[in-house]
Amino acid sequence: MANSEEAGQVVSEQQKEPTGKRVLVVDDDPDIAEAVRIALTNRGYEVLVARDGNQGLALAERENPDLIILDMMMPKRSGFLVLERLRRSPAFPVRVIMITANEGARHKAYAETLGVDDYIRKPFAMDRLVDSVDRLLSGKKGDS
């Protein structure tokens, strides 16, 4: 690993060995999506990015990721509508972390009824999100 660290930014996206886990980031904010993509790629995850709810749903159904990081408020289809659609398919038991700038407890409660695995409010510390991804993908089905 010392060689990777010494090489700096050129190989920074491959600092850890691949985990074999795929994460789909669905967020219309390009800065957030890119920051999350870089952080998770550095942890060894394969990361796919979608810029709106419709694209996210299509990628989720086609690529079958192990985990989805889903923004609540997006154009074309909200994170709630994406999550509702995913949860209607029992053949698709994907882990989901919802991220949102919304402060309302009602929205968090609704996300939990839809089976969200974690709910993180923006702005968030990247370590908080990465820790949640690691925890959810390490046990895959147990603790949420």
User: Could you report the per-residue pLDDT of 49-98, keeping only the tens digit for each?
Assistant: 999 999 999 999 899 999 999 999 998 899 999 999 988 876 667 999 99
**Which CATH number describes the domain made up of 18-137?**
3.40.50.2300
d(CA 106, CA 108): 5
Helix or strand run (H / E) with residue 49:
strand 46-50
Q: What is the pLDDT of residue 92?
A: 65
pTM for the model stands at 0.83
142 falls in which pLDDT band (50, 70, 90)?
Answer: very low
* Residue 24 Cα distances to 7, 50, 63, 106, 123, angstroms: 28, 7, 9, 25, 19
What was the pLDDT predicted at 100?
93
Q: Where are the domains of the chain?
A: 18-137
Between 10 and 71, the higher pLDDT residue:
71
Q: How confident is the model at residue 1 (pLDDT cuts 50, 70, 90)?
A: very low
For residue 40, the model assigns a pLDDT of 97
